[in-house]
Amino acid sequence: MRWIDLRSDTVTRPTEAMRHAMAEAVVGDDVYEEDPTVRRLEERTADLLEKEAGLFVASGTMGNLTALLTHAHRGDEIIVGHLAHTFLYEVGGSAGLGGIHAAVCQNDSEGTIPLETIADAIRDPLDVHAPITRVICLENTHNRCGGVVLSPAYVAAVARLARHKDIAVHLDGARLFNASRALGMPPTRWSEAADSVMVCLSKGLGAPVGSVLCGTREFVRAARRVRKMLGGGMRQVGILAAAGLYALDHHIERLDEDHANARLLAEGIAAIPSLSSPQAQPSPTSWTNLVYVAIDPDAVRHGAPDAALLSARLRERGVLASPIGKTGRELRMVTHLDVTTADVEQALIALRSAVEGT
């Protein structure tokens, strides 16, 4: 049986053509900076984001951590949203490994932190009692806020605030290319305002492994040492970088299909009694490939399945979706390279039947 796997866009498997590109990759020892395929990927990504240099890392988590450890040191502070991936899902790495303190600010539903909140959180560098604010972290698209796109104007406004105080802006752009396709704007519209940007090749772009961290040449030189310290100096890793290059060449424009499928899915969900989806509502900017399913609490009190039961029933029907959060009333469904429009239609039939228990 073939699963319709909507748990995440990380579940894609490399296509035949991508595997072919990997097999053909010219490689060398990348710790010696002698892997031509890795160098090409780093330059290509940096060019796309109009940054001076890039660094290939094993994961988005390693990319964000490497950035934070490069910008900030023990006892320094970062400003991060309470729904940020970096705060929720990266094992507290910047504190655990870097001794970096976090000022956690409330995200609003648009994935932003209000500018006044950020301004309030910035410490007075002359106050002997306070840690020094070094970095403001933003995320685009914002995963836990429904895959919403941050507006370029917002990112620019945060950067103006930061620059004025000599604070870096780090952009977790795990799905920056989704944002770019959704608004029909180049990724530079967001990257130009950030000092460092991390993009994932292993999410919607469909590569098996890898992220690229970009910034100034000086930043990337320092980040390269940090990556080595984290055990992330890899050797003939051009085999993986080749998959990333293939993804940048062939899998960016097709993100539009994922967005169209996600819209179809969200609208279908909204038409099922007791279910709703924020992604079926208008967004301030745009939604992308993440669809959240909200189960009406009243319906659950009257016997409708909660998130755990609903996902179990979906599994029996060949569809995988992730329960999210602690309320027991939220599921996440993600469209990607291995999900067709027919799969979405099939998933909606399964969802309806799972709700009704038929």
Ligand X SMILES: *Cc1c(COP(=O)(O)O)cnc(C)c1O
Q: How far is the CB of 123 from ligand X (least distance, A)?
A: 25
Residue of 51, 71, 85, 170 that binds ligand X (CB under 6 A): 85
Q: Where are the beta strands (DSSP E) in 99-234?
A: 101-105, 133-139, 168-173, 196-200, 211-215
Q: What is the C-alpha separation between 141 and 291, in angstroms, rounded?
A: 13
Site for ligand X in 61-80 (CB under 6 A): 61, 64
Q: How far apart are alpha carbons 283 and 271 in whole angstroms?
A: 18
Q: Does 59 bind ligand X (CB under 6 A)?
A: yes
Which one of the spans 56-64, 154-162, 241-249, 310-318 is the region binding ligand X (CB under 6 A)? 56-64
Question: How distant is the alpha carbon of residue 230 from its chain centre?
Answer: 21
Footprint (CB under 6 A) of ligand X, residues 135-154: 139, 143
When asked if residue 178 is in the footprint of ligand X (CB under 6 A), the reply is no
**Rounded-to-integer distance, Cα 214 and Cα 218, Å:** 11
**DSSP letter string over 118-144?**
HHHHS--TT-TTSPPEEEEEEESSBTT
Q: Tokens 């795990």 map to which residue?
A: 174
DSSP-derived secondary structure letter, 279? G
**Closest residue to ligand X: CB criterion:** 60
Figure out which of the listed residues 14, 54, 60, 215 binds ligand X, where binding follows CB under 6 A: 60
- AA identity, residue 257: E
Nearer to ligand X, 85 or 227 (CB): 85
Tokens of 257: 């299909």
If one asks whether residue 202 binds ligand X (CB under 6 A), the answer comes out as: yes
CB closer to ligand X, 191 vs 211: 211
Interface characters, 215-254, with ligand X (x: CB under 6 A): ----------------------------------------
Binding residues for ligand X (CB under 6 A) = 59-61, 64, 85, 139, 143, 172, 174, 200, 202-203, 211
